[in-house]
């Protein structure tokens, strides 16, 4: 009898052990199968090197999302251009290589031209800029276009306040001296601006611009001073038009295949962190720009201040982009122009 009981006890113990092993291998929480308690993982990339100041507020956004969403969402930063080339990152989101990226809308106007319209907002008035960005329905319209054409959604402004200006490797005295110059542009808006002043636009990825300037491939660039400093372009620029043409509107995009599956509370975390941080992002990059200008002046940069008439010419050049939007976006273009034109001058 004792031997029989011992056999039964041993069999029961062995059965429990097998059940425990099976649960560990195939039960909830095993590798490859998330449970309701596991956080959603978002795999992020960026168009720029991780040590660039232009990525600093993206990292801050990620940190804040992970802090507020602890236990619900975990954003992992995989890397920059070494992971996916800058102009291929929307495709990477669609294919599943990554879930989200930090990039410039101007890089992708070839597929979603509507994304460039926020670069038309007044670069000299942050309140007006933010009202156009978040205080209207323009973002909803733009995100509908992004969904239809690129399979992504704009979530957060993580580069703003950085003012893109004409920065030249040769001395100039004003806008008229841009005629005949080869100038790095990005997207059709800046290309139209260059052409408006008689220059020839050249497309060059940001991390390749410095050697292009050194070798004389281009004579200058539409560039933000902070980016110029961060990317090491510290000894090539001789002159700069002081008034910005446009503000940066780079930010976080997430694949709609990912966004649509996120729990509502995670979507809310991503959106609320963005709206809270965006005014701070504008001020941060404005201050970074100002500091970079002073540093570049110490390296020999001459800042050319232009008067009201030339400032108006820059607005007119920037506004030419509306023609592209209207022509290439018959569904959304006219509506976006009606909404945003009051915030663009």
Q: What is the pLDDT along the chain (345 residues), one digit of tens a residue?
A: 433 343 334 443 334 333 333 333 333 333 333 455 699 999 999 999 999 999 999 999 999 999 999 999 999 999 999 999 999 999 999 999 999 999 999 899 999 999 989 999 999 899 999 999 999 999 999 999 999 999 999 999 999 988 999 999 999 999 999 999 999 998 888 999 999 999 999 999 888 999 999 999 999 999 999 999 999 999 999 999 999 999 999 999 999 999 999 999 999 999 999 999 999 999 999 999 999 999 999 999 999 999 999 999 999 999 999 999 999 999 999 999 999 999 998
pLDDT score of 18: 35
Q: Does 40-160+249-284 carry CATH code 3.90.1300.10?
A: no
Helix (H, G, I), strand (E, B) or coil at 247: strand
Classify each residue of 97-117 as buried b or exposed e, where b means 16 or more C-beta atoms within 10 Å of its C-beta.
bbbbbbbbbbbbbeebbbbbb
| Two tokens, residue 318 | 């920037």
Q: Running DSSP on this structure, what letter comes out for residue 39?
A: P
**Both structure tokens of 168:** 């030249």
* Predicted pLDDT of residue 12: 39
| CATH fold for domain 163-247+288-336 | D-Maltodextrin-Binding Protein; domain 2 (3.40.190)
DSSP state of 32: T
Give yes or no for a contact between 71 and 38, defined as CB atoms under 8 angstroms apart.
no
Report the DSSP pairing between strands 220-223 and 182-185: parallel
CA distance 203 to 221: 10
The H or E element spanning position 97 is: none
The predicted pLDDT at position 294 comes to 97
CATH 3.40.190.170 residue ranges of the chain are 40-160+249-284, 163-247+288-336
Please state, in angstroms and rounded to a whole number, the distance separating the CA atoms of residues 142 and 112: 9
CA dist 164 to 50, 102, 268, Å?
A: 21, 18, 31
Is 19 in contact with 57 (CB distance < 8 Å)? no
pTM comes to: 0.82
Side-chain-side CA neighbours of residue 102 (13 Å): 32
């Amino acid at each position: 009898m004792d031997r029989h009981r011992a056999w039964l006890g041993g069999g029961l113990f062995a059965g429990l052990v097998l059940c425990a092993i099976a649960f560990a291998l195939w039960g909830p929480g095993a590798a490859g199968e998330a449970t309701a308690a596991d956080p959603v993982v978002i795999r992020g990339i960026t168009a720029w090197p991780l040590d660039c100041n232009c990525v600093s507020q993206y990292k801050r956004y990620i940190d804040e999302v992970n802090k507020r969403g602890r236990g619900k969402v975990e954003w992992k930063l995989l890397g920059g251009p070494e992971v996916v080339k800058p102009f291929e990152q929307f495709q990477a989101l669609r294919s599943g290589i990554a879930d989200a990226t930090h990039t410039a809308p101007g890089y992708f106007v070839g597929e979603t031209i509507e994304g460039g319209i926020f670069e038309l907002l007044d670069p000299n008035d942050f309140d007006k800029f933010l009202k156009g960005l978040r205080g209207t329905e323009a973002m909803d319209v733009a995100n509908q276009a992004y969904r239809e054409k690129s399979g992504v959604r704009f979530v957060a402004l993580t580069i703003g306040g950085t003012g893109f200006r004409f920065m030249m490797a040769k001395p100039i005295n004003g806008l008229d001296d841009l005629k005949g110059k080869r100038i790095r542009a990005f997207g059709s808006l800046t290309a139209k601006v260059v052409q408006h002043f008689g220059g020839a636009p050249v497309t060059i990825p940001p991390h390749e611009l410095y050697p292009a300037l050194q070798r004389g491939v281009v004579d200058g660039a539409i560039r933000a001073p902070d980016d110029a400093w961060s990317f090491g372009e510290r000894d090539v620029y001789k002159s700069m038009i002081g008034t910005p043409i446009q503000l940066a509107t780079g930010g976080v995009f997430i694949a709609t295949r990912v966004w649509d599956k996120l729990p509502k509370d995670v979507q809310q975390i991503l959106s609320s962190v963005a709206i809270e941080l965006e005014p701070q992002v504008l001020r941060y990059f404005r201050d970074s720009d100002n500091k970079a200008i002073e540093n570049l002046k110490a390296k020999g940069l001459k800042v050319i201040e232009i008067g009201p008439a030339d400032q108006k010419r820059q607005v007119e050049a920037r506004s030419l982009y509306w023609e592209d939007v209207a022509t290439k976006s018959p569904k959304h273009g006219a509506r976006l122009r009606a909404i945003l034109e009051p915030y663009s001058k």
